[in-house]
Amino acid sequence: MNIKITGTGSYIPPVVKTNAGFKDYTFLNNDGSKFENDNTVIIEKFKAITGISERRYVGPEISSSDIGFFAAEKAINDANIDPETLDYIIFAHNFGDVKHNSIQSDILPGLASRVKHLLRIKNPKCVAYDILFGCPGWIEGVIQAQAFIKAGIAKKCLVIGSETLSRVIDIHDRDAMIFSDGAGATIIEATDQTGGILAHETASYTYDEAFYLYYGKTNNKAVDSETRYIKMEGRKIYEFGLKHVPSAMKSALDASGEDISAVKKIFIHQANEKMDEAILKRFYRLYRTEIPEHIMPMSINKLGNSSVATVPTLLDLVRHNKLENHELNQGDVIIFASVGAGMHINAIIYKY
């Protein structure tokens, strides 16, 4: 028995927010002071560092659980399964459902329960629960699904990663330009087919690092100080990612028994283009080998950072030949890796 991804689906929101859309924003430092440079310079520097030129936002009428449902439907259809045969629905997110023009998180009931309701699944033994694990949430959900299947208590699992970060950003914080909305979903099944999940690695660094991402006040001191928004220590996260993600990827790859030369694609959480490129360089440096061409698909330029949705969305785009210069073939060894709030890192080695 092997445990494989048999179906994928994603939802890319229709609202395009370009970098030019931030030109008239009032960006402030953390202490409320103004930047020396005007927004044109700030946006140019932002693009050079992150690689982001535009991002996607959901429409005002839908929420994170809705787009998670849209992605789930596609994954179920792609795997050609009956949703009533699902044993688990695992929904990775960080902020729940946040309504338009609201900052309040709604996770009652949990988003997995909402998706099960929207799928009209009657089977009570289909267990639906949420996982809050920062940006690595979808990968960790896949690891949990594999554990359920290996333990013999499940045969089919639906793992979703969905977020509407546009609703928890501080418009006076230039980091607001990083975040976006989106959803990705996968069906994980026990199968007689070759390949599947070969090895994985997860770690949580919380002693000094737990609050590198956090809920904090707006940079505009004239605004209601009780409202909280997503905040991050960008430099610390960058250094953390470079230090820990390559070693987690190496530990997983070594445990899989596969050689570095067998790796055909690496799907890294789309957090920051420069950071992902630096992680890739450090990873291959650990094996003292050159980086192959077209090894790392990227979507951040057009889709931004949608947290838990970036990796499954990227996988779905490549599986369905929607990303230029990237394809997957049977027998390819691929790596999924992520880093995010907590601070958590994880990686999966997978044979396609």
Cα(327)–Cα(13) distance, integer angstroms: 23
Cα(183)–Cα(306) distance, integer angstroms: 8
Write down the pLDDT at residue 82.
97
CA 290 from chain centre, in angstroms, equals: 27
Q: What is the pLDDT along the chain (352 residues), one digit of tens a residue?
A: 899 999 999 999 999 999 999 998 988 888 888 888 888 899 998 999 899 999 999 999 999 999 999 999 999 999 999 999 999 999 999 999 999 888 788 999 999 999 999 999 999 999 999 999 999 999 999 999 999 999 999 999 999 999 999 999 999 999 999 999 999 999 999 998 889 999 999 999 999 999 999 999 998 988 877 788 999 998 999 999 999 999 999 999 999 999 999 999 999 999 999 999 999 999 999 999 999 989 999 999 999 999 999 999 999 999 999 988 899 999 999 999 999 999 999 999 999 9
Write down the pLDDT at residue 101.
84
Cα distances (angstroms) measured from residue 114 to each of 141, 181, 248, 257, 287:
17, 18, 33, 40, 44
**Domains of the chain, each with CATH number or no CATH:** 2-194 (3.40.47.10), 197-351 (3.40.47.10)
Cα(65)–Cα(159) distance, integer angstroms: 13
Tokens of 349: 């080695």
Write down the pLDDT at residue 31.
83
Spatial CA neighbour of 70 closest among 58, 55, 80: 58
Cα distances (angstroms) measured from residue 342 to each of 12, 132, 237:
26, 9, 11
Cα distances (angstroms) measured from residue 102 to each of 164, 180, 227, 276, 308:
12, 16, 10, 32, 21
Q: Is 153 exposed, middle or buried (0-12, 13-18, 19+ CB in 10 A)?
A: exposed
Spatial CA neighbour of 286 closest among 245, 258, 255, 257: 245
Please check whether residue 318 is in contact with residue 173, taking contact to mean a CB–CB distance below 8 angstroms.
Answer: no
Spatial CA neighbour of 197 closest among 130, 161, 149, 262: 149
* pTM for this prediction: 0.94
Write down the pLDDT at residue 307.
96
Tokens of 153: 């208590």
